[in-house]
Chains A and B, each alone.
Chain A
């Protein structure tokens, strides 16, 4: 079939370090199976295979750092084994999926999305690494996050009947399929892959940090998968290495990681940390230079009255437990996603001297990392999510970004990025566009300002929203339309 290559996990990545192989020669891999764990300078990510076949040879050793595009493993084709996955090659419409798509009520936007669907597959194709990726909206298609979920839950997505738009397999479909799948498999045994202990990436990392053998642990996850909690429990139970006093407390991943690292003498870690930092700065510098060199930016700014949005949010939050409260960012991001949907010139990629608008809005959210640097993973289809869903994704994404545990698909494909630096105090921010994207939205701090309205002066919470956009694709008039739409949307928060 071909080589499995080091993928590009963001426009500023030029190399990656092989941390772990999850397959060995002779293993059968499906498209979408997580086969390796790679460390970029910013985060550790699970990498899925774009190929289906048998692993013939691993070409890169653990610990090796290689440029993107470097072949990592050779995957060879096998005769059709009759499995459902093999019967349905990538992108081929599945009849069942089509039927399901016909039944599902199509939202007004769906027709437009379908017309433009072919553009999807071409999205940010830098190098051949992404060539095998299935277009997300084909019948029976499985988007990368759903594929990942399926992998985690031990479900073969090809066997799942899709109920999403055009028969696409949704998270719900996978979760529903996971229940019987998990019940059918004896705990702790992964029938398809003898010798491999099913485990979550967090659990693997934690186990490695604590020097535990995954095979020695009892998994309580789906299909007997070893979860983070299992590792933590084993750590707490282990008589060796006296745990610090707080070890019995429930810890989140970041806390556990910090604790695991504390005992390390600083002198050992410092040079590597410095090197990493320097490498990260170089990567950011290279990308931003490229952006400023190749993209003729123009900048617009607009101050938005946030009174309606804040009053609405506060009244909603008043009736909610802390765990489901909203923050202003969630409203702003939803409005930005909807505005991007209605102004296609700011949403997509500029590749090979032409603009390719994206029918979906994958909203990149710039997240400042505590150790320095910034990542901008995507919230997929942000325009279709409710504010609550978006809030949940945002919390999850930021937590994982900070803990260094993002997924490949999230890093690779934002169609427009939002930087929300205002959350840390600035009034306004004019971002630098991430190539090959064509726009960057900047959101300042929500602050009280004197505000004239209907001839009266009052004090209102306002936010300064900015747009940096690519002049090769749009002019100020269209850019202004984006900011105007953002403003309109925020005046009716209950409709977001």
Chain B
């Protein structure tokens, strides 16, 4: 998956899980838990949404790599 598609997929998934998050807040450094205030259920839904939309299944052991918006985009770019 190219970087553009990955970014699109991540933004769309976050919008679905947390519609109140402003697109402007989706900077690469933004942390999903602390900055976007996703709790563990939101995070699981995000992982599930991404799995459905892109086919990339993020295993639990890789969660630390996808704790920021940028990390998540990079992960999809590498694995998608």
Contacts and interface: CB of A to CB of B under 8 A. Distances in A.
Interface of A: 246, 249, 251-252, 254-255, 257-259, 314, 317-318, 321-323, 325, 327-329, 368, 370-371, 394-395, 398-399, 420, 423-425
Contacts of A252: 16
Contacts of A255: 15-16, 19
Pairs of residues from A and B, 7 with the lowest C-beta to C-beta distance, nearest first? A258-B19, A423-B39, A327-B40, A322-B48, A370-B20, A322-B51, A255-B16
Interface majority SS on A: helix, strand, loop or mixed? helix
A254 B16 contact: yes
B19 A254 contact: yes
B56 to A, nearest CB: 10
Contact of B39 (A254, A317, A322, A424): A424
A420 B40 CA distance: 10
Contact of A257 (B19, B48, B58): B19
Interface in B27-80: 33-34, 37, 39-41, 44-45, 47-48, 51, 57-61
Contacts of B33: 424-425
Nearest to B37: A424
Interface residues of B, number: 22
Contact of B12 (A249, A322, A398, A399): A249
B22 to A, nearest CB: 11
Nearest to A255: B16
A483 B49 CA distance: 36
Given A318-B60, A322-B51, A395 B19 contact: no
Contact of A317 (B15, B45, B48, B60): B60
A323 to B, nearest CB: 5
Nearest to B21: A370
Contact of A321 (B16, B37, B57, B61): B57
Contacts of B18: 370
Kindly name the residue among A322, A327, A395 whose own CB sees the greatest number of chain B CB atoms within 10 A.
A322
A366 B15 CA distance: 23
A246 B16 CA distance: 11
Given A252-B16, A371-B20, A322 B47 contact: yes
Given A322-B47, A327-B41, A423-B39, A258 B60 contact: no
Given A255-B15, A323-B48, A328-B40, 15 more contacts: A246-B12, A317-B60, A321-B51, A322-B44, A322-B47, A322-B57, A325-B60, A370-B20, A395-B41, A395-B44, A395-B45, A420-B39, A423-B41, A424-B37, A425-B34
A399 B42 CA distance: 9
Contacts of A395: 41, 44-45
A55 to B, nearest CB: 37
Contacts of B34: 425
A42 to B, nearest CB: 15
A329 B16 contact: no
Contacts of B45: 395, 399
8 contacts: A254-B19, A258-B15, A258-B19, A314-B60, A322-B51, A327-B40, A368-B39, A398-B41
Given A254-B19, A255-B16, A371-B20, A329 B41 contact: yes
A183 B75 CA distance: 48
A350 B13 CA distance: 44
B5 to A, nearest CB: 14
B62 to A, nearest CB: 12
Nearest to A317: B60
A329 B41 CA distance: 9
A255 B11 CA distance: 12
Contact of A394 (B16, B41, B58): B41
A325 B41 contact: no
A89 B19 CA distance: 46
A2 B43 CA distance: 47
Given A258-B20, A424-B37, A327 B15 contact: no
A398 B60 CA distance: 21
Kindly name the residue among A249, A423, A425 whose own CB sees the greatest number of chain B CB atoms within 10 A.
A423
Contacts of B47: 322, 325
B38 to A, nearest CB: 9
B30 to A, nearest CB: 15
Nearest to B19: A258
A246 B12 CA distance: 9
Contacts of A398: 39, 41
Given A257-B19, A318-B60, A322-B57, A329 B40 contact: yes
Nearest to B41: A398
Nearest to A254: B19
Contacts of B51: 321-323
A403 B80 CA distance: 31
A444 to B, nearest CB: 13
A254 B20 CA distance: 9
Given A317-B60, A322-B51, A327 B20 contact: no
Contacts of B61: 314
Given A322-B47, A424-B33, A251 B16 contact: yes
A258 B60 CA distance: 30
